[in-house]
Chains A and B, each alone.
Chain A
C-alpha cells in the first residue's frame, strides 16, 4: 500500500464530506453507522501504518510527486504513526460515546468530529512546517466549532476566549514561519534541520526568535504555563465526547515541540541547538506545580480531569526538557497513557453528572447513583491510572520519567515535583471519589439507563491502562526505538531528502 501514509488524513476528510451530502446528511442514524465504521477502518489503517513503518522503515509520502524539500512530504515514522494510532483509538471511543445521543445536541457533530481527526492526524504526519500550520488551522477551526456543540452561555463564553487566544496564536505562528522561511529558506522540517547549521550570525539571531516564537505557539496549544490558564474551564465546559477528544489536542502541542525542537533545533543545530530547553525546564516545573494546585482546587470532576491534563503536560514537558532518548521514550509512553485515561475521565465525569441531578459532577452530597457500581469501578481504575498508582499504566510512565533523570543536575527538582504532584492528585481524587460515590443522601429516582455505547467507550479507553502495563515490555521497546529515531536525526534527515539539496 504505497498510499497508506495519507489515509489517516484523507479517510476522515472524505468521511466528513460525505456526511455533509445526502443520503447521509439528513439522517443521524446513517451518520452514526457510517462514522463508526469509518473510525474502525481508521483504527485499522493507523495500526497497519504503524506496523509498516515499524517493520519497513519510515513511510514517506511525497505529495504531487514534488520531491522534498520543494513539495510537501508526509512522514510516517514511529513517532508520528504512534500518535496517529493514539488519535484514532481515542477518536473512536469519543465518537461511540457521542453516538449515544450527545451528537444530536447541535448540528454537524460527526462531520466536524471527522475534520478534527483529520486535522490532528495531519499535524502528526506532516513533515512540512507550513503544512503543519495548515493542519493546526484545520484542527483549531474544527475545535472551535466542536467546543460550542450543545450550546449554552458557558460554552459560548469559553469559546470566545478560546477562539481569540488561538487566533493570536495563529498570527504568531505565521510570524514565526515567516521568520524561519526568511532565514533558513525552506519549509521541509528535515531540510530546515540540515540548513540551520549554516546560518550566519545575523540570521541566527532571527532564526532563534522564530524558533522561540514557535515555542509560544505550541506552548499555547499544549497549555504550558503561563499560557495554560484558558484550558481548565474551557475543557470543563465542553460536552463530554468533545472534551475526551480534546485530550489529544494538548498533545499536538507537545508533539510539535518535540518534533521541532528535537529535529530542527536539536543537538546538531550548531549555535541554535536546544534554544528552547532553558525555558522549558522552569516552565515545565511550574506547569506541573500549577496543575497539581489546580487539581487540589477543583470543585468538580470535569475540572479535576482538565487540571490533570495540565499535570500531564507539565510532566511531558519535563521529559522533553531532559532532551535525551530515554526521556523521550518515557514521554511517549506517558503520552499514550495520559491521553487515553484523561479521555476516559471526561466521559466518566459525564456519566456521573447525568446520574446526580443538579449536583452534577461537583463534589457535594447528592442522590445515590443508580449505576454507581459500574461507574464506581470505572472511576476507580481511571483514578488509579491518573494518580500513577500500580498496577495500572500511570506508575510505569512515572517510573520511566523518574529514571530518565539519572545523572541530571535537575534530578532532585524533577523527582520532588513529580512525586508531590502525584501525592496532591491522590489526595484530591480520593476526596473526590469518596464524596461522589459514598456521601449520598436519598435514593435515585432517575430511571434512565446508561447506553451500552457509552459503556463500551469507557471500557475501551480504560482497558488501555492495564494493557499498557501487561504489554509494557513491547510498548517500551517501541517507544525506545521511536525516541532513538527522533534523536538520531542525521540518518532520518538524510532519508527524508532523496537527492535533496545541501
Chain B
C-alpha cells in the first residue's frame, strides 16, 4: 500500500462526476463518494500505526532542481485533518445531492468540490515544503471555482475574486517564507525543517520568514485584518460554505501554524503576532456576528471568531494551549459544519436566510430545529457538548500566560468578553430563527427537508454530543496523537473530563453565559447603537481599491506608452547615446597610433559636399522632392568615397542601389503630398537636434578612434586565401560567394522577403491617386515620349550585355551577381518607364515571384551540391579549363551561386518597382491575390 493513493484517489475522483453526471443524481453522488471513501478507508487502515506513535512516510523524487519531491508523511496531525477533510467531505457530498437544484450542474460542482478536497488532503500529508505550497495554492484555485459556482451572480464573482486575491497574495508570501526556511536549513524536507527549530529561530532571517509564513496562514484562516473575504465567500452554495468554512479551507491556515509549530513557535515574536492577531480576530468576529441578519453571515463571522480563538491558543506558546487548539479544531469543525448544513436546509426549505423574516421555525421543522439548536449550543459552549470542553481548556490557558507582563490579565478578560458575544449570537441564532413569533412573508412555507438531507447533520450533531459527554473515549487518542505531532515531544497531562470542580475557567464560562444572555436580551439597544455606524461593505471597498490600482496603472501606461514613434525613437537614441558614450569617458585619447593619410583637396571637397547635402536633406525634408535630390547627392558621395578608398565593388553596388532606391522613392512620392506641414514644435526640434548632435559626436569619436587604431583581424586570411582557396582574385566577391557565402544567402533571402512583403502590402492598398500636382497642374498627357521609348529600347540589349559582363568578371575583378542584377533590373524598369505597363505586359511574361524563388533555390542548391562530395553546405569547387580558340578559363561553383544572387536581385527589384509602378496605372485593379 501506498500513501500516494490517499491523495491520488480523490484527485482521480475529480474527473468522475463529469462522466457520471448523465446517469442521474443518485448514481452521480454515489460514484463521487466512492474514491474519497476509499481514500478514507486507506487512512483508517494506517490509523492503527499512527496510534502506536509512528509516522508513515513515502518519498518519490520529482523535480530535484527546485527541491520538489512527491513526499508524504502521515502523522497524528495529518490523521486528524484527514479524518475531518474526508469525513466531513463525504457528508457534504451527500448533503449537496439534496441541496443542488436541477438547474445547477452537478458534475461541475462535484468536480470542483473533489478537486478542493484533494488539494486539502495534499496539504495535510505533504512532507515537502514546495509540495505543500503547491497544494496550498490549489485550494485557492479550487475554492475560487467553488465560491463562484453561481457565476451569473455578481456577488459570487466578486466574492470569489476577493478570496482568490487575498489568499493568493498570502500564498505568495507563504512561498517566499517557505523558500527562506528552505534556504536556512538547506532542505525543503518537512522532517528536516521541523527538526531544525532551534536553527531557524536563531537565524537572522527568522522574523522575515515568520511574518511571511504567518501572512499565508492568516489570509487563509481569515484572521484580522484579512478576515473580510470570508463573509463574501458565503455567496457560494451552502454545501461549499459548510465544507470550506468548517473543516477545510480556513483550517488550512490553522493547520499551517500547527504544522510549523515546532519550527517557528516558542519566541516572543510568535507570541506577539499570533496571539494578539488571534485575540483581535476573536473579538471582532464575535461582535460583528451578532449584528448579521443573514444566517450564513452570522455563521461566517462566528467562524472568524472561532478561528481567532484557535490562533490565540496556538500563539500562547504553551503546550497545553496547543492541545486545546487541536481540540477546538475538531470541535469547531463538527459543530460549524452541522450549523452551516442546518442553515442551508432552512434556506432551502423556506427560501430565505434573513433572520428578520425567519421566525418560529420550531413549529414547521421541529426535527431540524432540534439538531440546529444542539449544534448552536455547542457553539455557545454549553456543558455536555463538545464546544464546552475546548472552551474550558481555552479559558484555563488564557489564565496561564504572562508574556504581556502586567497587562497579561487582560487576555482572560477579553477572552470572556468574546465568549459572551459568542453566547449572544448563538442565542440569537436559536431564538430568532426557531422561536420569536411567526415567519414574516417567506417565499415558501417551511417544511422538513428530505430524509437523507438530514443524515449528515444528524451524524455531526451526534458527534457533538458524543464528544461532549464521553470526550476521553471518543477523541482522547486522536487528540493525543495529533497534539504530539504538533508538539513533537510528550504531550502534557491533560484531563478531558467534563467536570473539573469549581474553578476560575468554570466561573468564566458562567460569566460568559450570563453576559451573553444579557447582551442578547438587551440587543435592541446594541442594534441601535450599531446602526449609527455605516456598515462598510468589504466587497465595494475591495473592488474600489482594485479599481483605483487599475486606474492608476492605466494612467501610467497611457502617459508612457502614448503611441508616439518620436518618443520611442528618442528613448532608443538616448539609450544608445548613454551606452556608447559612457565607455568613451575611459578613452584617454581618441587618436590611435596608426599613421594618417594626408588630406587632399578632392577629399575635402567630397567630404564637405557629403556633409552639406546630408544637412540639406534634413533641413528641407518637408519638401520631399528637394530632399530626395539632396539624398541622392549623399548616396553619390558615399559611392565616390568607396571608390577612392579602394572599394570599387562597394562603389558599384552603392551606385546601382542608389539608382534603384531613387526610382522607388520617386514612385512613392507620386502618392504623397509634395510637401508636408510642420508637425514638430520648436522644443521637440531642439531636443531632437541635441540628441542627434550628441550621438553624432559620439559615433564620430568612435569612428575616428577606430580608424586611427592599427588593426589585426582575420581579413588577412581572406587576402591570403582568396585566390588559392576561393579561386578568385576579387577578395570582396570571394568573401561574398565563398568565405561568407552563407551571409550572402541570408541577405538575398532578406531581399526576396522584402520584395514579397512590399508586394503583400501594396496588393491590399487602395490608395488615392492624385490627378494633378500641388500647384494644380495635371500630369503630362504624354507619359511615354517617343525619344525615351526609342533610346531605352535600344539601350536594353546593351544594358543586358553590360550586366552579363559584370556578372562574369565578378570573381576576379569588381563586379558580381548583385551588381549585375541591379543593372538588369534598372534596364527593365527603364522599359516600364518608357513604354508603360500595357506595352510590357505581353512582352515580359516572367513572374517575378518565380525569379526570386528560383534565385534562392539555385543558390541553395549550389550549396547543397557539396553534400554529394561529402563536404559541408556551400563548400565551393573551381578549376581551370582550356578550350581551343577560347583559351584558359575558370569554372567555379561560386558562379552558379552568384547566378542565384543575380536572379533574386532582378526578381526582387522588379517585383517591388513594377508593382509600385502599376499602382499608378489602371492595371492596379487587376492585381489579385494569388490565393
Interface residue ranges, A against B (CB under 8 Å): 2-3, 6, 10, 13-14, 17-18, 20-22, 25-28, 31, 61-66, 69-72, 104, 106-108, 111-112, 115, 118, 122, 130-131, 134-135, 137-138, 141-142, 144-145, 148-149, 151, 156, 160-161, 164-165, 168-169, 172, 175, 178-179, 181-183, 185-187, 191, 201-206, 208-209, 212-213, 215-216, 219-220, 226-227, 229-230, 232-233, 279, 290, 293-294, 296-297, 329, 333, 384, 389-391, 395-396, 399-400, 402-403, 406, 415, 419-420, 422-423, 426-428, 430-431, 434, 437-440, 469, 472-473, 476-477, 479-480
Contacts and interface: CB of A to CB of B under 8 A. Distances in A.
B65 A66 contact: no
A158 to B, nearest CB: 9
5 contacts: A63-B741, A130-B743, A165-B572, A229-B560, A296-B554
Contact of A106 (B64, B554, B561, B760): B760
Contacts of A216: 572, 575-576, 579
B588 A112 contact: no
A333 B65 CA distance: 11
Contacts of A290: 560
Interface residues of B, number: 117
Given A65-B875, A104-B931, A415-B176, A112 B61 contact: no
Given A17-B857, A430-B165, A434-B161, A229 B571 contact: yes
Interface stretch (B317-325, B394-402, B705-713, B804-812): B705-713
B929 A430 contact: no
A250 to B, nearest CB: 16
A141 B61 contact: no
Contact of B853 (A21, A149, A164, A419): A21
A138 B173 CA distance: 45
A468 B701 CA distance: 50
B867 interface: yes
Contacts of B571: 226-227, 229
A78 B637 CA distance: 47
Given A165-B572, A400-B66, 14 more contacts: A64-B742, A64-B875, A70-B739, A107-B763, A134-B742, A141-B757, A145-B753, A164-B565, A179-B702, A202-B709, A204-B586, A209-B583, A216-B579, A226-B574
Interface stretch (B131-139, B435-443, B521-529): B131-139
Given A115-B753, A209-B583, A182 B706 contact: yes
Interface in B704-726: 705-706, 709, 711-714, 717-718, 721, 725
Contact of B152 (A26, A186, A438): A438
Contacts of A63: 741-742, 872-874
B498 interface: no
Q: Is chain B's binding surface mostly helix, strand, loop or mixed?
A: helix
Contact of A233 (B561, B575, B854, B929): B561
Contacts of B67: 403
Contact of B556 (A2, A178, A205, A297): A297
Interface string B759-789: 1110110000000000000000000000000
Contacts of B544: none
A209 B584 contact: yes
B775 to A, nearest CB: 28
Contacts of A17: 853, 856-857, 860
A361 to B, nearest CB: 17
A122 to B, nearest CB: 7
A215 B761 CA distance: 31
Contact of B849 (A25, A145, A208, A472): A25
B852 A297 contact: no
Given A112-B756, A122-B746, A434 B65 contact: no
Contacts of B740: 71-72, 130-131
B168 interface: yes
B157 interface: yes
Contacts of A137: 746-747, 750
Given A17-B860, A21-B854, A209-B579, A10 B873 contact: yes
Interface string B545-586: 010011001101110110101011101111110011111101
A201 B857 contact: no
Nearest to B761: A148
B144 interface: yes
Interface string B183-227: 100000000000000000000000000000000000000000000
A178 B157 contact: no
Interface string B647-689: 0000000000000000000000000000000000000000000
Contacts of A402: 175-176, 179
B873 A389 contact: no
Given A13-B749, A14-B860, A202 B567 contact: no
A230 B580 contact: no
A423 B747 contact: no
B632 to A, nearest CB: 19
A232 B561 contact: yes
A304 B213 CA distance: 30
A65 B491 CA distance: 78
B65 A476 contact: yes
Contacts of A182: 706, 709, 711, 713
Interface string B848-874: 011011101100100010110001111
A17 B857 CA distance: 7
A108 B853 CA distance: 12
A431 B160 CA distance: 10
A191 B567 CA distance: 38
Nearest to B153: A438
Nearest to B716: A185
Contacts of B930: 25-26, 107
Nearest to A60: B872
B576 A202 contact: no
Contacts of A230: 568
B21 interface: no
Nearest to A329: B65
Contacts of A186: 713-714
Contacts of A476: 63-66
B753 A141 contact: yes
B368 interface: no
Contacts of B717: 70
Contacts of B874: 63-64
Given A165-B568, A403-B179, A61 B586 contact: no
B867 A3 contact: yes
A217 B856 CA distance: 28
A399 to B, nearest CB: 5
A29 B144 CA distance: 45
B68 interface: yes
Nearest to A420: B172
A391 to B, nearest CB: 6
Contact of A296 (B183, B550, B763, B853): B550
A215 B739 CA distance: 28
A469 B130 CA distance: 13
A438 B235 CA distance: 15
A190 to B, nearest CB: 13
B179 A181 contact: no
A134 B748 CA distance: 10
CB-CB nearest 3 A-B residue pairs: A145-B757, A476-B65, A185-B713
A426 B569 contact: no
A263 B546 CA distance: 44
Contacts of A477: 65
B114 to A, nearest CB: 15
Contact of A422 (B138, B172, B576): B172
B602 interface: no
Given A145-B753, A227-B572, A399 B130 contact: yes
Given A64-B876, A390-B134, A402-B176, A472 B63 contact: yes
A134 B747 contact: yes
Contacts of A6: 872-873
A309 to B, nearest CB: 14
B576 A172 contact: yes
